[in-house]
Structure 1
């Protein structure tokens, strides 16, 4: 008989499941200004187990996929996949993401007691092109035309609700631009 091993997902356990939200607002750059798009999204977080790096670091892993659709035409305008990881020994949370615009990043932060208590999870992670630990990789075309300089994501999860805010600092259309997405999601299952 095989032994069942329980994975300690720590703070990531609060994310597991399917989340849906229809209150999203995307503020994006246009060549002649700014465009606002109301959207809805689905984020699916699935248990990925644990893995060991270099026989020392043990990470609890969730795989996720986020699909974002415009309310105006039901068209997908953002498709993202990646992993959320938690290093319990170091109490570090990490988020790797890929979008099909040839941009990838690894964001992270050290957690403390205030991040996860009384059933409420608060995460504030970031990455930057000049950050030695939490970096951004992008294709030469994106570096030239739509450079992502910094990324920040804030998540709050409590009582089956998730408030998500992402801010990306871009160099696009010859100017600096703060691209923001905000939404409130509800746990479906």
Structure 2
């Protein structure tokens, strides 16, 4: 199963307009992807294996955010995934959060909460038009850090988080996500990875109620 789109041919995304959302500009809209691939440890089977999935995502502009002299533009977003064959059932993954652009400091920020009791604030340097955006976090980092509930700390402690969004010439975007976990069940560390490529199914315009 293919999980990546064509490699970008230039270093910058060309988008018209003021781009107040900076490098987040291409994400506005609703998206779907059917090539998701998850690699994780399955407690019931005591094994690490792949799961393929279908996914829906939404990225909506939010009001300008001001922290004193800091000005942030951003998007509220959600991403929900269903295992193939279970699209009419409950999703196996759900996350909500914000993507923020700090123009003055050249930073993109991902503020995300996962339904399983994990909260991550991740980010990195970025410029307007970047085709690849990175969102990284480490436990204990005072700026870009990780929190998780007590059970997960004991059973699957997160040691590192890296993620990237890549914009492609055909209008799709792909992402990768990597959680480095220390698993008590195996006594070892493993990489829990996710990747997918999504295409836009709805654009937001001034005449359209975003809600």
TM-score (norm 2): 0.79
Aligned-residue RMSD, C-alpha? 1.6
Which residues of structure 1 form unaligned runs of 5+? 1-5
Rounded to whole Å, the distance in 2 between the matches of 1:39 and 1:66 is 12
2:135 — aligned with what? Answer: 125
In proportion to residue count, which structure has more strand?
1
Which residues of structure 2 form unaligned runs of 5+? 1-17, 203-211
Shift in Å, 1:157: 1.3
Rounded to whole Å, the distance in 1 between the matches of 2:144 and 2:52 is 30
1:38 — aligned with what? Answer: 52
Which stretches of structure 1, 4 residues or more, deviate above 4 A after TM superposition?
Answer: none
Greater RCO structure (CA 8 Å; 6+ sep): 2
2:120 — aligned with what? Answer: 105
2:21 — aligned with what? Answer: 9
Shift in Å, 1:143: 0.6
CA deviation profile, 1:18-72 (whole Å, cap 9, x unmatched): 1110011111112422121110101100011211002x00000200010010003
Partner residue of 1:58 out of 65, 71, 89:
71
2:13 — aligned with what? Answer: none
Q: Does the 8 Å contact 1:7/1:49 carry over to 2?
A: no
Rounded to whole Å, the distance in 2 between the matches of 1:155 and 1:7 is 18
Rounded to whole Å, the distance in 2 between the matches of 1:23 and 1:60 is 30
1:19/1:88 CA distance change after superposition, 3 Å: same
2:172 — aligned with what? Answer: 161
